[in-house]
Amino acid sequence: MFPVSASETLSDISFLSPSQRLTALPEEAVWLANFVSPRTQRTYQAAVQGFIAFHGLRSSDELRTIGQSHLIAWREYLIQSGASPRTVRNRLAAVSSLFRHLCERQVAARNPVTGVQRPRVNASRVEAAVLTPEQVRRLLHAPPEDTLQGIRNRAILHVLFYTGCRVSEVTHLKVQDFFEDAGYWVLDFIVKGGQRHRLAIHHELQLALRTYLARSGHGAERESPLFLAVPRRELRKPLTSRQVSKLFHRHAREAGLPMGVTPHSARATFITEALDRKCPIEAVQASVGHRHIATTKMYDKRTLHYRESASFAVRY
């Protein structure tokens, strides 16, 4: 299936000279390799491959001749399959990005995504559910504290709710990313775009991490992933984003949390709780790594004013 990663393509043509490799590399692979972030590469590759699979395309030539009707059919399929408006927009954006590249390289005559209507999203608010402090406490204490896996999962949940980071940022942490700096214990995340983002952390999170590292026994291995897959730990394999998401949902069910709570709820909860505790929004913005303060405001569920709902006033 294509587009494949550039590294896979280069291995297939490794017998060629460097100049020959450049001309032999498919434009789809060039497009994908141009993204600096591995996360963006995976997301865009998955979106394009999903489109290709939906239409049963078998070659680059077939891909480059598709029309607007193909995109509309795929859009309707995604909507009917239950994909959120934001997901549909993002997947269409991935295909559009590929065709912009193909048009620039003059191997496609037009971008078929141009003019395709995209579902509207609420640009003023993030839809992730926000938890109450009591719900967060139940979730943080859901994993058992007498097993390595439970202690590890507690530490992961503490990272999510005490930093507001993304799941992918948790999986990229190494042991050396937890250290003391200028009198504060910090976590040094790799965030969107491959940038480093250093954050001083709460003492409860420090304790959870120290407890986990003391039990896991790999605290001196600076280059090792911070959170290891428990089975076959000797391989020193990091957890994947999917594994973190699965453990989050499992413990959310154990804690009796409502449907619709996702790992992204931790980010929304962190931002809302920090603002509710009178933390300046500029400090919250810096802590979660938002480039624009308007993005931080989208997570603030205080603006919904649930307590002032007129529904509480009516009597029948």
The rounded distance, in Å, linking the Cα atoms of 92 and 117 is 10
In the DSSP assignment, the letter for residue 147 is: S
User: Which of 86, 104, 122 corresponds to the end of one domain?
Assistant: 104
Sign of CA dihedral 76, 77, 79, 83: negative
Parallel, antiparallel or unpaired: strands 178-181 and 196-200: unpaired
Q: Is the C-alpha dihedral spanning 55, 61, 65, 71 positive or negative?
A: positive
Q: Which of 89, 104, 119 is where one domain is finished? A: 104
12, 53: one domain? yes
The pLDDT of residue 291: 86
Residue 117 within a domain:
no
Count of domains forming the chain: 2
Contacts of residue 133, Cβ cutoff 8 Å, sequence gap at least 6: 273
144-189 pLDDT, tens digit each: 999 999 999 999 999 999 999 999 999 999 999 999 999 999 999 9
In a domain? residue 251: yes
- 176 and 299 assigned to the same domain: yes
229 with 145, same domain: the answer is yes
The rounded distance, in Å, linking the Cα atoms of 72 and 113 is 9
Same domain (yes/no): 68, 178: no
What pTM does this model have?
0.73
Q: Do 156 and 60 reside in the same domain of the chain?
A: no
Phi, psi of 127 (to 5 degrees): -85, -5
Residue 75 sits in a domain whose CATH number is 1.10.150
23 lies in the same domain as 97: yes
Residues 297 and 156 in one domain: yes
Task: Fill in the DSSP letter of residue 81.
Answer: T
Q: How far apart are CA 86 and CA 296, in angstroms?
A: 17
- Same domain for 248 and 198, yes or no, is yes
In a domain, 120, yes or no: no
Give 25-78 as a DSSP string: S-HHHHHHHT-S-HHHHHHHHHHHHHHHHHHT--SHHHHTT--HHHHHHHHHHH
Question: Which long-range contacts link 259-263 to residues 24+ away (Cβ below 8 Å)?
Answer: 260/129, 261/129, 261/131, 262/128, 262/129, 263/160, 263/167
Q: Euclidean distance between the first and final Cα of the chain, in Å?
A: 61
* Residue 188 located in a structural domain: yes
Strand partners, 188: 198
Name the DSSP class of 316.
-
Which two structure tokens, joined as six digits, stand for 271? 């931002």
Give the whole-angstrom CA distance, residue 269 versus residue 164: 8
Residue-number span of the structural domain to which 14 is assigned: 6-104
Segment 202-247, tens digit of pLDDT:
999 999 999 999 999 999 999 999 999 876 556 678 899 999 999 9
Predicted local distance difference test score (pLDDT) of residue 129: 87
Q: What is the pLDDT of residue 14?
A: 47
Contact call for residues 271 and 198 (beta carbons, < 8 A): no
- Within this chain, do residues 233 and 174 fall inside the same structural domain, yes or no? yes
Q: What's the CA gap between 273 and 276, in Å, rounded?
A: 5
Domain end among 51, 85, 104: 104
pLDDT at residue 304, rounded to an integer = 61
166 and 22 both lie in a single domain: no
By the 10 Å C-beta count (0-12 exposed, 13-18 middle, 19+ buried), 153 is classed as buried
pLDDT of 240-293, one tens digit each? 999 999 999 999 999 999 988 999 999 999 999 999 899 999 999 999 988 888
Is the same domain home to 175 and 221?
Answer: yes
Is residue 313 situated within a structural domain? Answer: no
Neighbours of 93 (CB within 10 A): 15
CATH of the domain at 151: 1.10.443.10
Residue 119 in domain: no
- Residue found under tokens 């089975």: 231
In this prediction, residue 132 carries a pLDDT of 93
258 and 151 housed in the same domain: yes
